Amino acid sequence: MANTKSPKRNKSTTKVAQISAGEPRYLAVFNQLCQDITDGVYQVGELLPTEHALCDLFGVSRFTARNALSMLTDAGLVTRRPRVGSVVASQNRRTPYVQTLETVDDLLQYAESTRFEIAHWETLKLDQTLNVGETQLTSGQTWIFGMGLRRSKGEDTLPVCLTRVYLNPAFQKIIPAMKRRKNAVVYRWIEEIYGIKVARIEQRIDACSVSSADATLLLCPVGSPALRMQRLYFDAHNLLLEISDSLHPSGRFSYHMSLLRSDFKP
Q: Model pTM? A: 0.59
| Least confident among 140-154, 167-181, 187-201, 248-262 | 248-262
Beta bridge partners, 247, equal 162, 228
What pLDDT digit, counting tens, does each position of 20-40 carry? 445 567 778 888 898 889 888
- Tally the C-alpha atoms within 13 A of residue 108's C-alpha that lie toward its C-beta: 16
What pLDDT digit, counting tens, does each position of 230-257 carry? 888 899 999 999 998 999 998 787 766 6
| Radius of gyration, CA atoms only, the chain | 22
Domains in the chain: ranges and CATH: 16-88 (1.10.10.10), 97-257 (3.40.1410.10)
